[in-house]
Structure 1
Amino acid sequence: MLGRDGELTANMPERRSLSELLPRQSLFATLDRRTALTIVRAPAGYGKSALLASWLHTRSTSGRLPVWVAAPHPSSSTADYWSMVLRQCSQSGIAISATPADSYTDLLAALAESDRSVQLVLIRPDRIPNAELESQLIELVSRCHHLDLVVTLSGLTLFPEPYLLDIDHTLIGADDLLFSIEDTRMLFGLSDTTLLPGEAEQITATTGGLPALVRSVVSVVKALPQQDRRGDLLELNLQRAINKYIHEKILADSEIADHREFIVTCATARTLDVDTARHLFESGESREHIRGRLLLLETVGTFSRIETETEETWELAPAVRRSILALQAQSGIDPAQQMSLLAHYRLDSGRHASALKYAVEAHDWQLVVHIIEHHWVTMISDNLETIRSALQRLPEKAVGKNVAVKAGRNLYTMHMTKNVSLVDTLPTSPEELRALGAGDSAKDALSVGCVQSIMLRIAGEYEQAAETTRRLSQLSRSALENNPDDVTAQLPIMHLQWGITFQLNGRFAESTIEMRTAYRGGQSQGADYIAINAAGSAAMNWAIVGEPLQSQRWTQLEYRHPDAHDRLRSMVKVSGLVARTLASLDTLDFAAADEALTALGHAAEREELWAFVIYAHCQYALARRDTFSALSLLHSAVDAHQKHLKPGSFAGPLMRSTEIDLTLALGDGNKASALAAEIDDPADNPWTLTSVARLRQKTGQNEAAVALCHQFDWAGESYPRAQMETLLVQAVAHCQLGEHRRAAEAWSKACSIADQTGNLRSFSTIARPDIDQLESLAETNSSALAQFLKVIPAEAFPQSLQIVTLTERERTVLSLIDDGLSSAAMADKLFVSVNTIKTQLRTMYRKLGAHNRKEALTRARELRLL
C-alpha cells in the first residue's frame, strides 16, 4: 500500500541506514525458525523487504547462502522471472549447469544438487501473473531439501490458503508487521530524535503503526521545537506528513493512475466488497469490472484483503483512509453526505451495526437515533460496543423524547439522570403486567425491559434474564391486545431474543414458544432475517431435546425463506446448522451430519451459542468414535468461556455431561467418575443425570444407576432424548440384576419414544448384545429399532468399565512415594515391615498397570487417585 518493495533495493544492499535496520526481535525470532516456506504477506509500505533485509544483515546466516531477488517488473513473463532468479543465484556462487535447458529447470537442478544450504528471498513474485508460479515454488521447496524460501506478497494471488499446504510453512501477516509503541520509540532513538513523554504513543496511534508512515514522520518530529507549541505542531505536522506521503506514494503512483478517483470515492467505506464499491463509485460498471479494479489494487498493494470475511472484502489501512477522506472535499465530494448515504445503503441491506457506525461517523444523529430505536434488539448481542459508542457520542438534544434511546444510554453508559422517567423494574404480578400493557407506556416498558433482559443475559445472569423475559412475554400479550399499533412492529425481533434467552437458560419449551411466535411475526412482516433465525432456533430446540423429526420440519421452514442479501444465512446459521447436525446424527444420516458440521465450523469468539456448537461437534465425534480430539476441543472452549458458566447457564451442565460421555467413550472410568463426583446434584439436570446414570451402570453400579434415573420428574417437561437414554440405562441395569420384567418394561418405553421421535442414535449408547437380549425379552417390533439395525452404527461406549480403586493404606503408600520416601522409610513411618510395604506396592502396581514408582505416580494422576 505504501511504497514499492522493489524500490528499496534492486538486490539486497551491503548496508542500510540505522533507522532501517530496526531490530524487531519477535519477528526475527519467527524468521529464525527457518521453515521450508516463509510467507510475509501485507500491502506495500508495511516494511516487508526492510524486515527481511534487517534480519539477514543482523542475524547469523549459520552457514546458509543468502540469495536476494528483487521484485520483477509487472510486465515480466514467467520465463523472464526465472532467468532473473537463476542469474542472481549464479552471482551468489551457486553452480549452474553448463548445458542449459530452461531457467526454471536449471534453477531446480542447481538448488537440488547444491550441498550448501540456501536462503532464497523472493520479493513480490506475485507480480508475475501466472497461475503455474505457485506450483513451481512449491516444487522448489519440496525437491530442494537444502533450500529455505522466503517470499513477500501483497494479496492472495499466491498461497491464498497456506494452511492447506503439505509443506512446513510460516506466515507473517500485516498485523504482525505494524509498529508497536516500543518499535516507534526505538526507531526514533536510532535516528537520534528525542521524543517527549506520550509522543511515541501519539505517533503510533496517528499512523496506525504502519512502518512506512512512521518512518515518514521522523524528519518532521526532528524539526520540532523542544517546548513552545510542540504539542499542537506535532499533531498538525504529523497529519501533513502523512497526507504528503499518501499523495506522493499512493495516489501519484503511475500503476494506479486510472483508479485514483475510484480509490478516493471508495475510501468512504471502512470495508469494501464489490457491491459496496459499485454503490459508491457510480460509474455504471459491471460487478466483474469493479471486482477487477479491487483485485488489481490488492495486487499492487493499495487495498488489503480481509481474509476472515466469508465474501471477498478489502480495506484501506485506517490512517490511509483518514488521509484520503480529507481529500474527498477537494474532489467535490461531501464526506459526511457520503457517509450518510452509505449508512442508508447498509441499513437497507440489513447490516444495522455497520450502518450505525457510518451514521455516527457522518454525525447524522437523526439517523443514529432511528437505527438504535428500530434495530437495537438485532444488534445488542453481537454489537454491544458499537451501540455503547454511538450512545456515548450522541448529543443529548438529538435524543429528544425517545424514551427507549434514553433507556439504552442510561443502561449502556451507566449514567443515570434524574430527568429521564424510566420503568426501572417490571412488575411481578400478572395483574400489574396486564395493566402496564394496556397503558400508553407499554411500548417504552417493553423496550426498556428488553434491554434489561438482554444486558442480564450478556452479563451471564441467565436466571434473572429468563425471569425478566417471562414478565416481558406476559406484558407483550397485554400490549398487543391493547396497543397493537405501537408494539406489533417490534415484537417479532423481541420474541426472537426472548427465545435465545430461554435457550441459554435451558428452557427449551419456553424458547420454542417464543421462536414460534417470532417466526409467525417475521413471516407476516416479510422479515426473512427473523423468520430464518426463529425457524433455525426452533429446529435446534427440538434437536437438542431429541426430537429429530420435529427439528427437520422446522429446518424445512427455515429454508423456505429467501436470503435476499446473500449473507443473512451465514449471520443466523449457527442454530440451524446445529439442528441439522444433531437431527442428521439422530436419524443416522452421517453424510448430512458431516456436511452440516462442516458448514457450521467452530464458534466465533463472541458466539452466544458456543456451547451448542461444541455439543454438536462432540456428538458427531461420539458417533464417529473420534472422541479424543473432541475432548480437546471441549476443554479449550470451556477455558475460553469460563465467565459464561455461571449458575443458570445451560452451558455448564451441558459441557459437564458431554465431558463425562467423551471420557466414558475413551474407557477412562476413573476420570469419568471423578468428573461425576464434581457435580453437586446430577439429578438437577436431565443431561447430567443421564451421563452419571450411564457411568454408574457401565461401572457395575446397577442399583445406583436405576435409583438415579428415578430422581427426575420426566412428566414435568419433555426431554425425550434424556428420557430414552435413561430408560436404556435402566433396561440394561435391570437385566443384569436379573429383573427381566422391569427390563422389558423400560426397553419397551424406550422403543416407543424412538418410534415417536425418530431418534435412532440413542440405541447406540448401549451394546449390541444388550439390544438383542432386551428385544428378545420384550418383542416390541419397534420400527425405529428395525431402522437402527439396518445401519448398526458404532457403539458409543464400552459395554462395561472397570474403575481402579485403592485401599486407604494403598493411597497412603502412594502419597509417600510421591513424597520420595524409600520402602524402608515408609515402613518406619507406618510401623510395618519392609516386606509388608513391598506386598502393598506389588498389589498397587498391579491395579495401576505400572512397573515402577514413576509409572505408578503418572498413572495415579491420570486416574485422579493422587
Structure 2
Amino acid sequence: MGGGRRVRGPLPRASRTAHVAPRVLAALESRAPLTVLRGPRGYGKTTALVEWLSRQTDDVETLYVPLDAEARLPSGFWCTVRDALVRAGLAAQDGVGDVARGGAEQSAVLRSVSGREDTLRIVLDNYHEAGLLDGRAEIDDDLLELVRTSPALELVVATRALRSLETTGALSVDITVVRPADLAMHPDDVIALAERHRVAITQDQADQVVVELGGWPAAVRACVAAAAVGGHEVRVDAETVDGYIDTLLADVRSAALREFLLRTSVPDEFSASAARAIVPDGTGIRELRNLRLSGLLRERDTVNGLRYSYPPAVREALRRVGVERHPELEREVHIALMALAAEEEGPVGVLGHAVRAREWDTALRIIEEEWAGLVTGHPERLIEVALEFPRDLLESEPRLQVVRRHLPRMAGGAGLRASEWKPTGAHFVDAAVQQRWREMEETTDEVLVLVQSGLAAVFAGENEAAAYAFERVRDHGLAHDDRTARLMGIGGMLTAKAIHGEADLALALLDDPELADVVAGGDDDDVSVLVRVSARIMRAMASVDAMRPDAEDAVGAMLEPVRRDELWALGIIIRGLYASVYGSPEDQARIVGQLRAAMRHLEPGGIAESTIATQLVELLVAGGMVDVAEQVFERLTDSFVSSATRAYLLQAQGRDQEAIDAASRGLADARMTARSRVSSELVIAGSLYRLGQTTAARRRFGRAVRVAYETGQRRPFALMAPEVFAALAGHDPELLALRPLPSTAEASLQRPVAAAVPGPTELSARELQVLAALQDCPGPAGVAAALGMSVNTAKTHLRHVYRKLGASSRDEALVLSRGLVRGRS
C-alpha cells in the first residue's frame, strides 16, 4: 500500500473500467464518524469502497472487513471483526476463538478500538449479514455506542438493508448516508463508463439505459461491457437483465419477498392497497417498504395517491421469470385486483384486469353494462382492451366489432376523447331499444350498439362522433331495407347536427320523406314515437338558431316527452333560446322559472344540466340581472359548454379584456358547438369594438359571419348590443340579414343610435339621478354611497335603467345615455 495508504484487509481488486460517481466518492471522503452505503445487490457498494480506498492518501489506518455467513450470529460477527483486527496487528492475540467465554470477542474489539489515540477507520462490507439470523439490533446498538465513545473511530458500513444503525445513529452521531438513489447511475455516469470501455454512446442512449434499468449499476455495467465485446451500440439486453434478476431472486432468502417481487411486477404500477390484495399472506406493506428503501421500486405521487413501479426492463425480467416458474401467477394477480379496481378505478379498471385474467364472460358483461361510460369516458382504453380478446369473440360480439371497426373513426378518425361528463342513461330511448331488441329476437346487433354509442356521444358533447355513428346506422337501414335502422339513424343524425348548431344541415335532414311522414304523424310504434318527439324538438332548435320565419310555429309544435329526462330538458332549453330573442320580459321571466325547475329534475353532473344553466344565465343577463346570473354561473363546471356563456357574462359586466380571453380559450376546443362558436366570436368582436380596436373587431365579426354562413346560425347576432351590431355590419344588406328580427325591432335597429335612447319622460327622476351618479361611480356600491341609498336599492334602480336603455353594462348605459343626463340638469 504505497503512497501513504494504510489499508489492511483482503481488499478486492479494482476494475480498470469501473466507474464510481464523484458524488459517491465525495460522500465517502467526508470522513463522518459513521458512513452508511445502502443499496440492493449490484448497486456498486463494494465497487465504490474499493475505488475510494484505492485512492486514499490521507494516511488513516484503515481496516477493510468483508462479512459473510459467519457473521449471522452476534458471536460470529464479533469474532470476524476481532480476527481482522488481530491479523492487521491492531489487536492482541489473547482470547481469539474462545466462544465459550461469551463476550470475549466483543470485549476484545471494544478494548482495541476505544483506547486508540490515532484515527482508525473500519470498513464493514456486506453488513446486511451481521446478525441476520439473530441479534442484529444488539449488534447495531453496540457498534453505535462504540462510535459515540471512540473519538478516534471512523466506521463505514455497506449494507443492502435499512438498519437501526442508520436510523438511530442519525439521532446521536454525525452520519453520512449514501442511499440507492445516490448509488444509481445517472446518464452522465453511463457516458463516463462507456468512455472507459471505449464505446461510443449518445445522450439519448444513455438516458434510455438509465430509464429502462433504473440506473442499476451492475446491469448498466454489463450492458456497456456487452457493447464493448460485441462491437454494437449500448442497449439494454434482456438476457443480461434476466440473468441479474435470477441472481437477485436466488440471493433473496425470504420466500415472502420473492413472492412479492414476482406478484407486484404483474401490473404496470400498484398502490399500497393493491400490494395488500396481490400478496395474500399479509406481508405486502412490509415488503413494499423494504423494496422502496432499497431503491428497486419507484414511488410516484398521483392524484389518486402514491403509486409504485419497477424500472421497465427490471419489471419485464421479473414477469418473464414469474411466467416461467408460475404460469398461473399473472391470472391470479389480475383476479385479485378486480375487486380493488371496482373501488379505485371503476368499470374500466375491472375490465382491464378481467381481460388480462382471461375472464371473458366477466369482461363482456362489463362492456355491455357500462357501454356508455366506457365508449365516452375511456375510448382509447376500450380500443386497446378489445384487441386482447380471442379472435372468435372479436368476430362474433357486436360491441367488440363496433370498437374495432367504428370507435377509432368516430370524431374524425382521432378517436373519442375522454369525456368529463357523467354518463347519461338516456331513458327516452329505452322503448325504442326494446323494440329493436324484439326485432332481433332478443339479441344485440351492431345497429343497436351504434345507436347506444351515438347517444352516449351526444351526451358527452361529441356531436361529430355521434353523427358518424348514426350515419352508419342509416346506411345499414338503406342497405338492408331496415326501417327501424333508417329512422333511428336519420333521427340520430338530426339530433347530433341540431345540438351541434348546424342549423342548415339539420333542417335539410327533415326533408327526408320517410322522416317527414313520421314527424307529421305516421305510425305509433315505439321507434316512430321516439323519432317524432325528438325530431320536432330538433326542428324547433334549428329553426330558432337560424331565426327562420316559422320558428314560433316550430317551437309550438314540440311534443312533450312522457318522462322528464334529457329530451324533455332540451325542449325547455329551446323555449329559452326562443324567448331570449323574441320573448317579452314576462315570457323571459316565465322561462327562467322553468329552467330553474328543470335543473332540479335532472341528474347532477350531466351535460344537459350544464346546458340548462348556461341558458338560464343568458336570460338573466338579458333581463338585467347580471349579479344573479353570476351566482348561477359560479356553480357550473368550467367546460366547452359554458365557456361562451362565461365570455358573454364577462362582457355584460364590462370586463371586456377578460371576456376576450375567455372566449379565445373556449374557441380552442373542437367540441364547441357552432352556436357557441359564433357567440364567442361576436363577444370578442363586441369587446374589441368597445375597447376602441375597430379594425380587429371587424375582423372577428367577419369570422363569426363565416361560421354563420357555413352553419345557418343567426340567433347569436340578435344577442349583440344593437349599436355594436350596426357599427360592425354597416349598411351591407347581407350582413344586416344576419339579424332577421321582426319588422318592428328591425326598424328600430336601423334608426340612428341616439334616436333609440329613451326620452327623459321614460326615466323617473330617481333613475336619472342614478344614471348621473353612475358616470362618476364604478358600480352599485358607489351609486349607493353617492345618493345615500342601500346597495340593493341602487342595484334595483340600475336594472330598471339598463332595461329602459337597452344596455347590458355600465359602459353601454353611459354610451346610450349621452346627452340625456346633461339635458335634464
Tell me the TM-score normalized by structure 1: 0.44
Larger Rg: 2
